[in-house]
Structure 1
Amino acid sequence: MKAVRFDRFGGPEVLGIVDLPDPRPGPGQVRIAVRAAGVNPSDWKKRQGLMDEELPQTMGYEAAGVIDQLGQGVTDAAIGDRVFGFSTEGAAQAELAVLSHYAPIPPSLDFPGAAALPAAIETATRALDQLHVGGGGTLLINGASGSVGSAAVQLAVVRGARVIGTAGPANHAYLRSLGAEPVAYGEGLVDRVRALAPDGVDLALDVAGSGVLPDLIGLADGPEHVVTIADFAGAREYGVTFSRGDSGRAVHALAGIGELIETGRFSLPVARTFPLAEVAEAHRAGEGGRVRGKLVLLVD
C-alpha cells in the first residue's frame, strides 16, 4: 500500500509517499480502505522530531473509510461499513489503516467530514471531562475558533455550560453561531471577560497556548479550575493541569458525536482537502496558520 512516511526530521520536504506492507487488524480492531485522513498540529511536531525519536515514522492518527477486514472478536461492525476513528499506530495517512477505536460515520457526513472529527472531539471531550464541565457554570475557552476550540465550545454548550470564547474579531460571528459569547484575545483580555462575567468564570480551557495562563487562573479563581492542552511549560510553572492523550483518551466521544451531528448540535468544518501525495502542502498550510477548520488528505 501507499503511505506517508519520513526518514529524517525536518520541514515538510522530508515527507514522502512510500510502499509499505498491508497492515492486518488485531483482536478488536478493523482495517479500512482509507478515503480520508485528518492532518493535525501534532503531525508537524512529530515530523520536526519533537515527539518520537525513532526513524522512520509513518503519519496520521485519524481516518475515515470502508471496512475491508475485521479483527478477531469484532461483532459491532461488518465488512463494507463506513466508519471513522483512531489509528493508535499513527499510520492513518495511507491507503489502508487499522483502527483501534471506531464508530459509524453519521449519515449526513462524507468521508472528509468524518476524518476531521476524531482528534478534535477526543481532545475537547478529554479536557471538558477533566474540568468536570456541566450545566450552570461559565467556561472560558482561550482559542475558541480552531478545530479543537470550536469542538469544545459546542460540546460544552450541549452540556449546558455558558461559554465565553476568545478569538480574533473576524471569527466572532462564527463563535456566536456555535453558541459562545466572543471576546478578542490580547491585551485587555481580563477586562473584556469581566465585562461579560463580572465575578469571573468557573472554569477555563486554554487551547491556544498564547501565554495567558496567569489571566485564566485569575479569572477562574485558581489553577485547579484551569486546563491547558497547549502550554506544557506554563502548566508546570503555574500548577495547571496539562491535558495529554497518554493520560487516558476520551474515546467515548466517538460513539456520541453522530447523534449531535444529525440533530444539528455539532459541526466541524473542513477547511481544505489535499490529495495524499500533496501531504507536504497540507503541512505548509497548517503551519502557516489562519486556517479555520480541519485539513484533510484524500485517498483515491
Structure 2
Amino acid sequence: MIGLASEPHHAWLEKHGVLPVTYGPGTAVRIREASGGRVDAFIDTIGEGYVALAVELGVRPARIDTIRDWKAATEIGAHTYGEGAAASAVVLGELARLAARGRLEVPIARTHPPEAVQEAFRALERRHTHGKIVLRP
C-alpha cells in the first residue's frame, strides 16, 4: 500500500505498513516507481486533481473513490463513498470491536476550546495536520 504525505508524516505511514510517497510535482512518477508501475486502486481524501491523477496512473474508474471531488468522479464514473457510506450499524459495530481490542487508532492533532473554533477551522483548511482537530467542551 502506498500513501501520499508530506515528509513529516512518512514515519507514521511506515509504522502502519504503508510505503510513503511525497506529494507535489512529480507525484505520478514517484507513485509509478514505488508501485512498480501498477496501481490497482486509488482513494482520494483531498480532491484538487487526485481523481485525474488516478486516471493518469491507469486506475479503472470502478477502483477510484473520492470523498471530495464529486464532479470529477461523476465525469468518469468513479465512486464517491465517504462518511455517509460508513454510517451503518455494521460499520459502527466493527469500529467498536476494533476499539475494544485496542486496534483502532484515531490520532488527535490538537484540541481547541469552543471559543477557538475559528482557529480550529483554519488548521483544517491548511490540510497539514496529522490526525483530527477536536473541539473540547
TM-score bin, normalised by smaller chain? 0.7 to 0.9
Alignment check: 8 A CA contact 1:167 1:182 kept: yes
Identical pairs, percent: 35
Structure with the bigger RCO (C-alpha within 8 Å, sep 6+) is: 1
Question: Separation in 1 of the partners of 2:93 and 2:18?
Answer: 24
The alignment status of 1:175 with 2:13, answered yes or no, reads yes
**What's the CA shift for 1:264?**
4.2
Question: Separation in 2 of the partners of 1:215 and 1:283?
Answer: 27
Greater gyration radius: 1
Aligned partner (choices 262, 272, 294) of residue 110 of structure 2: 272
Extract unaligned runs of 5+ from structure 1: 1-162
The alignment status of 1:192 with 2:56, answered yes or no, reads no
Question: Separation in 2 of the partners of 1:215 and 1:236?
Answer: 15
TM-score, normalised relative to structure 2: 0.82
2:46 corresponds in structure 1 to 208
Normalized per residue, which structure has more helix?
2
Q: Which amino acid aligns with 2:131?
A: G
Equivalences for 1:288-299 in 2 at 5 Å? 288-299=126-137
**Runs (4+) off by over 4 Å:** none
Aligned partner (choices 267, 271, 283) of residue 121 of structure 2: 283
Extract unaligned runs of 5+ from structure 2: none
Question: Separation in 1 of the partners of 2:33 and 2:121?
Answer: 38
Mark the CA change 1:287 to 1:194 in structure 2 (over 3 Å): closer, same or farther: closer
Alignment check: 8 A CA contact 1:214 1:238 kept: no
2:55 corresponds in structure 1 to 217
SS at match of 1:194: helix
Q: Which amino acid aligns with 1:167?
A: A
Mark the CA change 1:287 to 1:197 in structure 2 (over 3 Å): closer, same or farther: closer
Instruction: Give the CA RMSD over aligned residues.
Output: 2.2
TM-score, normalised relative to structure 1: 0.41
Q: Which amino acid aligns with 1:250?
A: A
2:70 corresponds in structure 1 to 232
Question: Separation in 1 of the partners of 2:96 and 2:128?
Answer: 28
Alignment check: 8 A CA contact 1:165 1:180 kept: yes
